[in-house]
Structure 1
Amino acid sequence: MSVKAPPPLIYSQIKYLSTKSPLPFKIEQLRSGDKIGKHSDRFTLQIPFCLDYIKWDVIYNAQYPLVAPDFIFSPEDEDFHPLLFGDKGRTRFEMGSLCNWNIKDPSRLLLVVNELRKKYLDYQKKRVAELDDDRLKFEISTLLSREGLEVLLLFASDRPQEVKFAIPLLENIPLNKIVQCCPWKQEQKIYLQAIFPITQKYSAPSAPRLNLVCTSELKIVFSIDDVKLPIWINGMCMAEYLPNLENSLEAQILAAGASIGARRRFIEALAPVFGRPVEADSVYCRRATVLVAGTFSFLVHFALTPQFPKQQPILTMQSSCHFTSQGTPISSPSLRTYPWSPRWEPSIMVERIFEYIGEELLTFKKYCNENSSQR
């Protein structure tokens, strides 16, 4: 069954929320509240929260589009009542973004959702602070001053209750500036995800489960999965753990930035020896390709890892004249055994590689002749 389009005014608010927010909201299950209705007027909204998503239903009324939408929250959050508050037996709106609702303003839905999300965060912090767990009360009291901290009380049928912390790290470092001429539109972030089991009375506190998470673009230049977390020592708290972690992370982030600069200088050093590269990654400097022309012409591909120059480039030679039976150019296996020192100047690195390619030329040509479909 095809999905019916929302009324134009409702559609403009949904589109604005999906395209203008720095948070990656997701729209799903767009549907109509009336089986014979001409328009969809409700949907499920996935809201990024605490390194995961929570789901709320947003309910417009296509017959009365000027009216502000209703929101249905998760059954687990039955005590979350952000829209109304009591006043001498009466109830009225507490949220300014709903009091000033205007269906003709495309940004209005996003303003409401952002305000609700903030109230939901306050609600979760309050729930955690009220738990009968002295360790968690202490942890949240020492972390509340961190800008961007998020917490979430987790429910699961197969394990005890837990509390998840999403702790922003390195807030003093502009991560977007790691890359020269940065193409990233979103602000890059690194978080420590810490999941604490709720401790029963008279039980010894267990260590939290720890994991580093970063925005997807940052992974291109910084291997977050390779970071070794400091050991969590029994009896310690986050206030003790975080400084060592952030010091280590900062050093590795700076090294990642330095690696980009070193890779750029290496690629620039290719031109005087091999000629101008026919292709190169000018932003992240992770790859380059040069053409070696002559009676036997071939390409040399350079793959540079984030560990450059400690880790040498991976070379692949690709013939311009020899092809497999499937029509693909014949390439050599990855080459890593050439002379290399991370302490050499880029010009010396390139010269040594050029000499190595010259030594490998006849061997590669023979390999191509033996494996070519034209032989």
Structure 2
Amino acid sequence: MNNMSPEVALHRISPELRPLLCSVVRNGRVGLDSTNCLRVTDLKTGCTSLTPGPCCDRFKLHIPYAGETLKWDIIFNARYPELPPDFIFGEDAEFLPEPAELPHLVHWDAGNPECLLQLVKELIQQYHHYQCQRLRESSRLLFEYDSLLEDPNYGRNMEIYAGRKNSWTGEFSARFLLKLPVDFSNIPVYLLKDTALDPGEDVALLSVSFEDAEATQVFPKLYLSPSIEHALGGSSALHIPAFPSGGCLIDYVPQVCQLLTNKVKVFALTQFTSSALRCSLCVCIILGYL
């Protein structure tokens, strides 16, 4: 059931609810990681066994967020499909969204196929604020967040997953996921858009995990969208520096951006030079035959 394709899942959903779910599974790219879509698993029904199918009206929604996968239960009532759904937020029992900040819940419109997807996006936005508030448990991590927030290059393109306890030490820890402001327009389109790869946005994401509240153990990792990784020669083509002892994100992140920018420039120049040489060779061959 967990490996069910989106189309199979849609055919198991109650027909009255199907348009809402269709928008989620077909257009559900949310957050910074555009290569991962919303997924639906664990389809169930609250109807009696005498109800003719398909009648599934509840499911688990998998949401990519800050390098984690949130698993929220969404519960409709197939007998009253005009009503908005209930949500259960998995392990985040303390996450209590403010209804007034959820216009697509307050003004729920079951006849609008986009209504559920827009509601999920509003909930994710509130979840982001909830995670940012949890950073207050660590003055050091709160400083890292506030410093990035003041920079327009990073503050608007950041996801936080905070407060999880390190399974070994019990320490407060957090992960920052940032979309790097790197220009990929110089990479030739014919190399960038491989039809066999994911068609999502060309993006570079930097994940930085703080395994303790004092930032003594920090682990950065760079993620490139499939098309960018393919164009630059694979995941091994770029090695980012280790996070320096006593360093800060507001100093480290620009270094990674510059490193990746330089890599793109060198790659683009190499491709341009190679193309020019090929053109010159073709001209010489043609002239040789004249």
TM-score (norm 1): 0.62
* Partner in structure 2 of residue 27 of structure 1: 40
Residue 219 in 1 paired to residue 229 in 2?
yes
CA offset digits 1:42-91 (Å, max 9, x no partner): 1110011002311101111111100011111022x11111154xxxxxxx
**SS in structure 2 of the partner of residue 56 of structure 1:** strand
* Partner in structure 2 of residue 140 of structure 1: 145
Which residues of structure 2 form unaligned runs of 5+?
Answer: 2-7, 31-36
TM-fit CA distance, 1:269: 6.8
* Partner in structure 2 of residue 318 of structure 1: none
Instruction: Describe the shift of the 1:96–1:205 C-alpha distance in structure 2 as closer, same or farther (beyond 3 A).
Output: closer
Residue 112 in 1 paired to residue 119 in 2?
yes
Whole-angstrom CA distance in 1 between matches of 2:215 and 2:96: 32
Runs of 4+ in 1 over 4 A off after TM superposition: 1-4, 262-275
Instruction: Describe the shift of the 1:32–1:250 C-alpha distance in structure 2 as closer, same or farther (beyond 3 A).
Output: same
Whole-angstrom CA distance in 2 between matches of 1:9 and 1:273: 67
Q: How does 1:280-299 map to 2 (within 5 A)?
A: none
Instruction: Describe the shift of the 1:5–1:228 C-alpha distance in structure 2 as closer, same or farther (beyond 3 A).
Output: closer
How many aligned positions are there? 258
Instruction: Describe the shift of the 1:269–1:35 C-alpha distance in structure 2 as closer, same or farther (beyond 3 A).
Output: farther
Whole-angstrom CA distance in 2 between matches of 1:209 and 1:254: 27
More strand by share: 1
Residue 66 in 1 paired to residue 76 in 2?
no
TM-fit CA distance, 1:207: 3.5
Instruction: Describe the shift of the 1:139–1:103 C-alpha distance in structure 2 as closer, same or farther (beyond 3 A).
Output: same
2:259 corresponds to which of 229, 244, 248: 248
Residue 150 in 1 paired to residue 176 in 2?
no
| Percent of matched pairs sharing the same residue | 24
Paired residue type of 1:211: K
Paired residue type of 1:26: R
Q: Is contact 1:29-1:44 (8 Å) kept?
A: yes
1:127 corresponds to which of 125, 134, 146: 134
Q: How does 1:65-214 map to 2 (within 5 A)?
A: 65-75=81-91, 77-84=92-99, 94-128=101-135, 130-131=136-137, 133-145=138-150, 146=154, 147-153=156-162, 154-155=164-165, 157-160=167-170, 161-171=172-182, 173=183, 175=184, 178-180=187-189, 183=193, 185-199=199-213, 205-214=215-224
CA offset digits 1:201-254 (Å, max 9, x no partner): xxx641411111122222111234332222433222111212222211110022
Instruction: Describe the shift of the 1:54–1:176 C-alpha distance in structure 2 as closer, same or farther (beyond 3 A).
Output: farther
1:258 corresponds to which of 269, 277, 283: 269
Whole-angstrom CA distance in 2 between matches of 1:205 and 1:167: 18
Higher relative contact order (CA 8 A, sep 6+): 2
CA offset digits 1:118-176 (Å, max 9, x no partner): 10011001111x21x322121111112422111102345444332011022125x2x25
TM-fit CA distance, 1:8: 2.2
**SS in structure 2 of the partner of residue 247 of structure 1:** helix
TM-score (norm 2): 0.79
Which residues of structure 1 form unaligned runs of 5+?
Answer: 85-92, 276-375
Whole-angstrom CA distance in 1 between matches of 2:160 and 2:258: 23
TM-fit CA distance, 1:264: 4.5
Q: Is contact 2:175-2:207 (8 Å) kept?
A: yes
Q: Is contact 1:150-1:167 (8 Å) kept?
A: yes
More helix by share: 2
* Partner in structure 1 of residue 33 of structure 2: none
Q: Is contact 2:82-2:110 (8 Å) kept?
A: yes
2:60 corresponds to which of 37, 41, 44: 44
Q: Is contact 2:180-2:257 (8 Å) kept?
A: yes
Q: Is contact 1:98-1:112 (8 Å) kept?
A: yes
